[in-house]
Amino acid sequence: MAKPALGRGLGALLGGSPIATPQVSAPISNTVPSASVATDLHERVQRVALDRVRPCPLQPRKDFSPDALRELADSIKEQGIVQPLIVREREGHLELIAGERRWRAAQLLGLTEVPVIVRQADDRAVLELALIENLQRENLNPLEEAQGYSQLIGQFQLKQEEVAIKVGKSRAAVANALRLLKLPASIQASLREGRLSVGHAKVILGLASEVNQRAAAERIIAEGLSVRQTEALVARLLIREAGTVTKPGQIAPLPRDAHVASLENQLRERLGTKVHLRYTHGRGALEVAFFSDAELERILQVLGVSPD
């Protein structure tokens, strides 16, 4: 089944008349246009000098596989760039909105010209589109995705719910992605490089201590632990954390049951917020944290409870 378009798509984000001059371009990526970035048949394509086109600093994708770029370059060499680059005019040059992989591959081939469509777009629309394009093609690594969400929230004052709607994700998916940015830098690097999976990272986030988080990550990588094995490891580390006395005279809490710790992790991921589950002999309490009225409403919606 075809993958549905994410968010509002290119037309909604960058609506309006293109400002390129009419010119027919001969095909020079065999990349099939996705629903969100497909070009309108009435839009004008022009050929411009490759050195006029520059990457966009708002582009969330920072890592480009050399092997994948070489494969794309080989394809372009045989079939040409079928899908034009989408650009905007910026102070004497053209800034990429979509198509940086094609631009980089064209550089590898030593091309002097590329086909482009020029559009008018503000920074927010550019960032939204870049996220949509990359998410739809699954080109972003988990941290690039999280950083893109964070940039929309921080730079454009959007709420998590608004970001989720724009990129076609659930609110919980956005919240869980943002949690990855709370991991220590060394763990983020391992996640970016693919040595840890998102599943591993979500389990590691259940640990409060950065020391234990790093220790867990190192062991996962060294021993090739699965996510299920990581859950068991983190449960043991949680017991150690719970039994640590931090102040003189402080009474250490009872060790936590591994199954309770695992359930707490699942609740934390499902609700996209901090969760604390206390359980002893069939009794206990479930504490769900929220930090605004909007956050509370979202959690209630996830639980199927109407605030009215």
Q: In this structure, what are the phi and psi dihedrals at residue 286, rounded to the nearest 5 degrees? A: -115, 120
Best CA proximity match to 81, nearest among 101, 63, 97 = 101
d(C-alpha 122, C-alpha 238), whole Å: 46
More confident residue, 211 or 15: 211
Is 193 marked active-site? no
Fold (topology level) of 12-130: 3.90.1530
Task: Count how many Cα atoms sit within 13 Å of the Cα of residue 20 in the half-sphere of its side chain.
Answer: 22
Non-local CB neighbours of 69 within 8 Å, separated by 6+ positions: 101, 104, 105, 108
- The per-residue pLDDT for range 234-286, each reduced to its tens digit, is 888 887 776 654 444 443 344 556 677 778 878 887 888 878 887 776 778 88
Coil vs helix vs strand at 10: helix
pLDDT at res. 243: 61
Please check whether residue 247 is in contact with residue 235, taking contact to mean a CB–CB distance below 8 angstroms. no
Across the range 101-128, mean pLDDT stands at 87
d(C-alpha 96, C-alpha 114), whole Å: 12
User: How far, rounded to the nearest angstrom, does the alpha carbon of residue 203 sit from its chain's CA centroid?
Assistant: 18
Please tell me which residue in 78, 89, 95, 100 is annotated as part of the active site.
Answer: 100
Fold (topology level) of 141-244+254-303: Arc Repressor Mutant, subunit A (1.10.10)
* 110 φψ region: left (φ > 0), alpha (ψ -120 to 50), beta (else): left
d(C-alpha 253, C-alpha 235), whole Å: 15
- The per-residue pLDDT for range 170-228, each reduced to its tens digit, is 888 899 999 999 999 999 999 988 899 999 999 999 898 899 999 999 999 999 999 98
- Positions of CATH 3.90.1530.10 in the chain: 12-130
Q: To the nearest whole percent, how much of the chain has pLDDT over 70? A: 78
* pTM exceeding 0.75: no
- Positions of CATH 1.10.10.2830 in the chain: 141-244+254-303
pLDDT at res. 35: 34
The average confidence (pLDDT) of the chain is: 77
- The per-residue pLDDT for range 40-88, each reduced to its tens digit, is 545 788 999 999 998 888 777 777 778 888 888 898 888 888 889 888 8
pLDDT at res. 30: 37
Greatest mean pLDDT among 10-14, 163-167, 208-212, 257-261 lies in 208-212
3-state helix vs strand vs coil in the chain, percent to 5:
50, 10, 40
d(C-alpha 233, C-alpha 250), whole Å: 26
pLDDT at res. 238: 83
